[in-house]
Structure 1
Amino acid sequence: MWFDAWSDLVRVLLVGTAAYAFLVVLLRVSGKRTLAKLNAFDLVVTVALGSTLATILLSTDVAWAEGAVALALLVGLQFVVAWATTRWPSSRSAVTAAPTLLLHRGEVLDDALRAHRVSRGELRQAVRASGSGDLSQVGAVVLESDGTLSVVTASSLGDASALADVPGAKG
């Protein structure tokens, strides 16, 4: 159907505007961490927020108040999980992946590349993007929990204390 009734369009405009405004306020109040760089858990919450907003907009079976409670619940759960993982580091492993060392002191760790489905080409691309042209001059490449590749040059590695939470990274 192309068109049912003007009241349906007005409902989408009014409820959509109210739901959008509520979500923006909720995200501002909850802080930057709610939509920080996405790890797997953050991605699920973000997709759920979008799905909930779409349902509020398009389903006449869902009242605005129900949708607002659902949005608040998702943001609240995200806040609780973020709070818990900063207070109890052991709980972090339940919702985020540990960083993985892919290259250490110029040596490519092929087992780690295979385990995380990263090609040597992707590794070299990350090294080039960091401004390095020689793998032997790279101190470490880390696959971070959000899927990004961090490159630390050998000259910047220092005591490698930035790699303290990366399994397998020894100074």
Structure 2
Amino acid sequence: MIFDSWGGIIRTVVAAVIAYAVLVTVLRLSGKRTLSKMNAFDLVVTVALGSTLATVVLSSDVALAEGAFALVLLVALQFAVAWLATRSAGVRRLIKSEPTVVLRDGRLLEQPMRRQRVTREEVCQAVRSSGAGALEDVAAVVLETDGSFSVIPRQKLGSGSAVAGLAGFSR
């Protein structure tokens, strides 16, 4: 079916505008943490928000008030879990992975790389992106909780306090 009725199109426009406004307002009120770089938990919330928004906009079976409530509820749950994670190591361990050292003192760490499904090429690309030309010039490459790589050149390691507690890194 290509066209059903103007009523359906008008309902879609109204639902989209209102649901979008609710989502943007709730996200702005919930703070920067809701929109930060994503880890697995944040990705799940983002997918759920997108799915809910699409359902509200496209399905006449879902009342606009129910959809708006679902959007607010998902953001509130994300906010509550993030709040708990900042106060409880147990909750933090449940929702976030630990950063992983994949290169130490210019040497690739095969076991952590295998466990995290990281290839040599990905580590080398991160090293090149940092401006280093040789693995030997790098003190550490860390796979962060959001999936990005942090590259710490030897000359910038300093005391190493930023990597001191990570598995695979010891002074």
Q: TM-score range by the shorter chain?
A: over 0.9
Structure-to-structure mapping, 1:43-122, within 5 angstroms = 43-122=43-122
* Letter matched to residue 11 of structure 2: R
Determine the structure 1 residue equivalent to 2:16: 16
| 1:111-149 CA-partner distances (Å, limit 9, x unpaired) | 111111111111101000000011111010001111111
Q: Is the 8 A contact 2:39 2:96 kept in 1?
A: yes
Output the CA distance in 2 between the equivalents of 1:131 and 1:98. Answer: 25
Q: CA RMSD in A?
A: 0.9
8 Å CA contact 1:99–1:165 kept in 2: the answer is no
Could you tell me which amino acid in structure 1 is paired with residue 45 of structure 2? Answer: V
Structure 1 runs (4+) deviating above 2 angstroms are none
The count of corresponding residues between Structure 1 and Structure 2 is 171
Counterpart residue number, 2:127: 127
Q: Distance in 2 between matches of 1:32 and 1:138?
A: 32
Q: Secondary structure at the match of 2:60?
A: coil
After TM superposition, the score normalised by the length of structure 2 is 0.97
Structure 1 portions without partners, runs of 5+: none
Under a length normalisation based on structure 1, what TM-score does the superposition of the two structures give?
Answer: 0.97
Identity of aligned residues (%): 54
Q: Which runs of 5+ in 2 are unaligned?
A: none
Is the Cα–Cα contact under 8 Å of residues 104 and 168 in structure 2 kept in the other structure?
no
The 3 A distance-change label for structure 1 pair 165 and 39 is: farther
User: 8 Å contact 1:35–1:46 — kept in the other structure?
Assistant: no
Does residue 147 in structure 1 map to residue 164 in structure 2?
A: no
